[in-house]
Chain A
């Protein structure tokens, strides 16, 4: 049936999408939703406390409380700890993706998006990109609070920038895993507690705050293969800070930069399609 021809068009007509290619319009949708999520973050400053107040608090707490009892070969605890704090703060802050997405899913706004001629996955991409930008703010706060207490990197500028790139890429990959939690969660609170259950062991069973050699053997194996340990070791190397893990003879600790990138690519390859699938399933009725 060729019904289209007999449909009268309104004088003004919906002509908006004319002349827009697939990729261009997808990017456009992503930009629009990223901006929307950034407006949210700015409007609810408490959302930002994860990436501003927490880094400062963690730096003070861990370095002065925990650090006094941890001897580090080849340097001071604060030289050792800042890279770990960077990984720790970024890992836990990726919970924001789970909370933000589950919040959207409990309001009617997703229904509104679904009736618009937009790219549906841009809801996910826009969310993770906005969270990546707030992760960059987190990096800034960790660095400033580290510098304030006397931590210094001992490496070239490209190497330091490389460290930021490695840790932010890992954070971005992780936020797709958190997106899956946010979609599965019933609401923001359950999104937050699911995130906590997964992210805290991931962040703490690692070499981020203490060298792994003091751990029980089984836990040490877990920690040495934990992606957060690889990222932390990579950042330590790239910052030129002491990295006791270099003496551990497992592959990720011998090649931390490569291992971090491999983990990040792997997490992204699994969880980005999974998030897209779960999102489609959750929003189909």
Chain B
């Protein structure tokens, strides 16, 4: 059965004054899957999420969420989505519990239902002990967990997470990752933006890489890595031996680089499966003593570098645009 995707966007564009935030973006998220939208600061991730969650209107293009048009049927869309925005969107002066009860009530739950749901979520997100504390006293990790909980109050079928772990310490990050993984086992459809490559790699079924308001690559994390080129083989010898290069040349996909001391050999390889064993066996047959064999899989950092010519955390020539983007984001709020 051909299912309509839960989130579908076609040709979305959006400009803020002279700044082009989105230059025509297509997205598609099938029901029950996680799409990771990956890109550096100012790439247009947040703008895309704001359009899909009815907070902003696209200049061109159209999008549907849960089968409803985000501009013509915004009210229906809001009944089917949960949102965790990049900045805290909860009430600093209310307690964790009061915040969740308020969100529940404003989503249409009766007060008793909203209270029961809040208690359930506080328990699940490990916030029961802090439930009656004012939000001002929460740590960054606790706020994120509460923000996630707020997005889930009505058990929405579609959830948007805008940079869910930005600014968190490593422990809280892993913690939030665990919670997000659990959500999808509940059958949710999820769109998550991130500037962390390992995050997209770990959480997303499919990844869309965006830069300067455009999709520059799309696929599973494996496909993206494969498209970038294969893995790298690195062999460390006990003593320099010329036979080693000949023995290796059968397995590699490019020239073998030898280090100055002649002990370390590096070469690109295509297929990584079972490679280390084969290499060790071949070197042994050639009478070469090996200290170490490593096969490096490309990281998403390599992917981003291959696509844009710069690392994901560098702003490079985009610096001026980014500064404008930041100032603009401030102005919008």
Contact of A115 among B3, B81, B105, B134 (CB under 8 A): B81
Which residues of B (53-78) have their CB < 8 Å from a CB of A? 53-57, 64, 66-68, 75, 78
Contact of B79 among A7, A12, A17, A114 (CB under 8 A): A17
**A7 with B66: CB separation less than 8 A:** yes
Contact of B90 among A109, A116, A117 (CB under 8 A): A109
**A10 with B85: CB separation less than 8 A:** no
What is the CA–CA distance of A11 and B187 in the complex, to the nearest angstrom? 9
Q: Does B198 contact A (CB under 8 A)?
A: no
Q: Does A249 contact B (CB under 8 A)?
A: no
Across the interface, name the chain A residue whose C-beta is closest to B78.
Answer: A117
Which residues of A (1-30) have their CB < 8 Å from a CB of B? 1, 3-4, 6-14, 16-17, 20, 25, 28-29
Q: Does A32 contact B (CB under 8 A)?
A: yes
**B106 with A29: CB separation less than 8 A:** yes
Q: Does B124 contact A (CB under 8 A)?
A: no
**B107 with A116: CB separation less than 8 A:** yes
What is the CA–CA distance of A107 and B1 in the complex, to the nearest angstrom? 44
**B106 with A3: CB separation less than 8 A:** no
Contacts of A40 in B (CB 8 A): 93
What is the CA–CA distance of A25 and B89 in the complex, to the nearest angstrom? 23
Contacts of B53 in A (CB 8 A): 115
Interface string of B152-164 (1 = CB under 8 A from A): 0011110000000
**B75 with A117: CB separation less than 8 A:** yes
A113 CB to nearest B CB, Å:
7
Given known pairs A20-B108, A108-B87, the reply for A8 and B103 (CB within 8 Å) is: no
**A111 with B89: CB separation less than 8 A:** yes
**B4 with A116: CB separation less than 8 A:** no
Which residues of A (238-285) have their CB < 8 Å from a CB of B? 284-285
**A285 with B157: CB separation less than 8 A:** no
Given known pairs A16-B107, A115-B78, the reply for A7 and B93 (CB within 8 Å) is: no
What is the CA–CA distance of A108 and B91 in the complex, to the nearest angstrom? 8
Q: Does B6 contact A (CB under 8 A)?
A: yes
**B64 with A112: CB separation less than 8 A:** no
**A118 with B106: CB separation less than 8 A:** yes
**Number of interface residues, chain B, beta carbon within 8 A:** 53
Contacts of B57 in A (CB 8 A): 284-285
Contacts of B107 in A (CB 8 A): 16-17, 116-118
Q: Does A106 contact B (CB under 8 A)?
A: yes
What is the CA–CA distance of A108 and B88 in the complex, to the nearest angstrom? 6
Contact of A117 among B6, B50, B94, B108 (CB under 8 A): B108
Q: Does B333 contact A (CB under 8 A)?
A: yes
Which residues of B (82-113) have their CB < 8 Å from a CB of A? 83, 85, 87-94, 98, 102-109, 113
A112 CB to nearest B CB, Å:
4
**B90 with A3: CB separation less than 8 A:** no
What is the CA–CA distance of A285 and B49 in the complex, to the nearest angstrom? 13
Q: Which of A4, A25, A33, A112: most chain B Cβ within 10 A?
A: A112
Which residues of A (24-44) have their CB < 8 Å from a CB of B? 25, 28-29, 32-33, 36, 39-40, 43-44
Contacts of A39 in B (CB 8 A): 93-94, 98
Contacts of B156 in A (CB 8 A): 14
Q: Does B265 contact A (CB under 8 A)?
A: no
**B89 with A109: CB separation less than 8 A:** yes
**A4 with B67: CB separation less than 8 A:** yes
What is the CA–CA distance of A1 and B64 in the complex, to the nearest angstrom? 11
What is the CA–CA distance of A138 and B88 in the complex, to the nearest angstrom? 33
What is the CA–CA distance of A115 and B90 in the complex, to the nearest angstrom? 12
Q: Does B127 contact A (CB under 8 A)?
A: no
Interface string of B279-313 (1 = CB under 8 A from A): 00000000000000000000000000000000000
Contact of A32 among B32, B79, B80, B102 (CB under 8 A): B102
Which residues of A (84-140) have their CB < 8 Å from a CB of B? 106-109, 111-118
Q: Which of A8, A20, A113: most chain B Cβ within 10 A?
A: A8
Contacts of A10 in B (CB 8 A): 155, 157, 186-188
What is the CA–CA distance of A43 and B4 in the complex, to the nearest angstrom? 48
Contact of B54 among A11, A17, A112, A115 (CB under 8 A): A115
**B150 with A7: CB separation less than 8 A:** no
**A44 with B93: CB separation less than 8 A:** yes
Across the interface, name the chain A residue whose C-beta is closest to B86.
Answer: A108
Contacts of A1 in B (CB 8 A): 4
Q: Does B320 contact A (CB under 8 A)?
A: no
Q: Does B332 contact A (CB under 8 A)?
A: yes
Contacts of B64 in A (CB 8 A): 3
**B85 with A111: CB separation less than 8 A:** yes
**B85 with A112: CB separation less than 8 A:** yes
**B105 with A32: CB separation less than 8 A:** yes
Which residues of B (109-158) have their CB < 8 Å from a CB of A? 109, 113, 134, 150, 154-157
Contacts of B80 in A (CB 8 A): 14
Q: Does B256 contact A (CB under 8 A)?
A: no
Contact of B332 among A16, A32, A107, A285 (CB under 8 A): A285
**11 extra A-B contacts, CB within 8 A, seeds A14-B154, A14-B155:** A4-B67, A4-B68, A6-B4, A14-B80, A14-B156, A16-B113, A20-B108, A39-B94, A111-B55, A112-B103, A116-B78
- The list of the 3 closest CB pairs from A to B, nearest first, reads A17-B108, A3-B67, A112-B89
21 A/B residue pairs, CB under 8 Å, sorted by A? A3-B4, A3-B67, A4-B67, A6-B67, A10-B155, A10-B157, A14-B79, A14-B156, A14-B157, A17-B108, A28-B105, A29-B105, A33-B106, A39-B93, A39-B98, A43-B93, A113-B106, A114-B54, A117-B79, A118-B107, A285-B56
